[in-house]
Amino acid sequence: MGTKMGKIDIDNMSLQELKVLQKDVAKAIDTFEDRQRQEARTVLEAKAREMGFQLNDLVEPGRKPGRKVTAAKYRHPENPELTWSGRGRQPQWIKDLIEAGGDKEDYRI
């Protein structure tokens, strides 16, 4: 178990000091995975450089593991090339059609 400080004497801390410590611990817990991920990335980037590559050269940019491409569920009424899967942010054309009084279900494929 890694620590950067010795034992904390919480019995002799003021309420304000305890609240600050509690906030700091909550933040450390919330950011733990991000810090671990960054540490892993640093190690992988160093290994890739050691082998003559950039890490980005070895992974597919834009692909996220476990994400599936979803088929289009909605199509623009005037431009059939504009589609939306129904996942993620709504495209502006869907927002515009809804704002104009339409129902997105009217554009379901």
For 67-91, the pLDDT digits (tens) are 666 788 999 888 888 899 988 889 9
Task: List the domain boundaries for the chain.
Answer: 11-58, 74-107
- The average pLDDT across 27-45 equals 92
Question: What global pTM score does this model have?
Answer: 0.39
How many Cα atoms sit within 13 Å of 38 on the Cβ side? Answer: 5
The pLDDT of residue 56:
81
Residue 17, φ and ψ in degrees, nearest 5: -65, -40
Cβ distance 73 to 79 under 8 Å? no
